[in-house]
Amino acid sequence: MTITQLRYVLAVAEHKNFTKAAEKVFVTQPTLSMQIQKLEEELDVQIFDRTKKPIELTDTGKLIVEQARNIVVESDRIQDIVDQQKGYIGGLFRLAIIPTVMPTLLPMFLKLFTNKYPKVKLKIEELHTEAMIEKLQEGHLDAGIAATPLGQPEVIERPLYYEPFVGYIPYDHRLSKKELIDPGDLDLDDLLLLEDGHCFKEGVLNICKARRGNETEQFQLESGSFETLTKLANEGLGMTLLPYLHTLEIKESEQDHLRMFTEPVPAREVSLIFNKSELKMQIINALHSTISGAVRGAIAFQNVKIISPLTPKKQRA
């Protein structure tokens, strides 16, 4: 039994296809198939049921894959220990960021980080939280940036910053005359929301703690972008809530539409999350320091009492 054979098993278990798995681990399909067959013969078990389309794990195979994942992670830890002892900060690092954070946060830290740590090769993708957690647990990500808490025992959360919610209120709205707004002022019947799949929507709903009660309303709209929500608000179709960093990009002519909340200010906790195996901690620490430092100057609310409206869930997007 070899680590290479176990990596091949994990690849087939993930892709449920020998050809696709071989492409992912950069070997020919006959080589991968032969190595897995040798492992099955050595163990005297069938790991995969090849009669199924797509290929499925046998009951014993499921247990083997679970243990194989642990073994491969521990083998990676050896190189990780050597890198940490040498003080080396480099290599491939796979990072995911949720959609409501990525557009504003990435430009704030990416150039700074890559200049400071040129040996780190960042591979960044945009993912909803549920998919991010799954990839972390399967070892396909090194870390993610998401709204927390998540309530996931396999995931460690290190808060980066707390980002206040800000009201975007058009001139003709019932709240437009208020200098500060209160959660009790919000009414879901005139609140434009992000579509399902965004954790920011969950935070907004928790702030409101209410349900839509107007069965005669003309429309209900949920959008995938803050830009669409603000444009609709400008048309007099309601108000919306924005994350604070997004408001820094609001054009000057629309700044008068912004309203902060009374204290305690509702805010979302944004954290760097990673698997409890804690691999590549030297890069994780460098990312945490760089990001939190970059955001600290942008969010001038360090002395304001804030409260997070999010609660842990086993699956959140």
pLDDT at residue 316 in the model = 43
Class of domain 88-162+267-307: alpha beta
Higher pLDDT, 19 or 186: 19
Q: Take residue 181 and report the two structure tokens written for it.
A: 């707004």
CA distance 265 to 165: 8
Look at 174-183, 228-237, 300-309 and tell me which has the smallest mean pLDDT.
300-309
Fold match flag (3-84 vs 163-265): no
Confidence of residue 202 (pLDDT cuts 50, 70, 90): low
Residue 45 contacts by C-beta under 8 Å, 6 or more apart in sequence?
Answer: 58, 60, 61, 64
**Mean pLDDT, range 187-213, rounded to an integer:** 64
Average pLDDT across the chain, whole number: 84
What is the pLDDT at residue 64? Answer: 94
Residue 211 confidence (pLDDT): 43
CA distance 21 to 33: 10
Average pLDDT over residues 147-175: 91
Q: C-alpha distances in angstroms, 73 versus 114, 189, 315?
A: 26, 49, 24
Q: Which of 9-23, 46-60, 117-131, 206-220 has the lowest mean pLDDT?
A: 206-220
Which of 18-32, 95-109, 231-245, 273-287 bottoms out in mean pLDDT, i.e. has the lowest? 231-245
**Would you state the pLDDT for residue 214?**
46
* CA pair distance 247, 169, nearest whole angstrom: 12
Q: Which homologous superfamily does the CATH classification assign to the domain defined by 163-265?
A: Periplasmic binding protein-like II (3.40.190.10)
Write down how long the chain is: 317
pLDDT at 281 (0 to 100): 92
Task: Return the amino acid letter for 8.
Answer: Y
- Supply the pLDDT for residue 63: 94
User: CATH for 3-84?
Assistant: 1.10.10.10
Residue-level pLDDT at 77: 77
> How many CA atoms, within 13 angstroms, populate the side-chain half-sphere of residue 56?
5
Q: What is the pLDDT of residue 304?
A: 53
Q: Across the strands, what pairs with 122?
A: 93
Instruction: Show me where the domains of the chain are located.
Output: 3-84, 88-162+267-307, 163-265
pLDDT of the residue at 3:
92
Q: Determine what percent of the chain is predicted with pLDDT higher than 90.
A: 50
Is the model's pLDDT at 176 over the cut of 70?
yes
Distance CA 125, CA 121 (A): 13
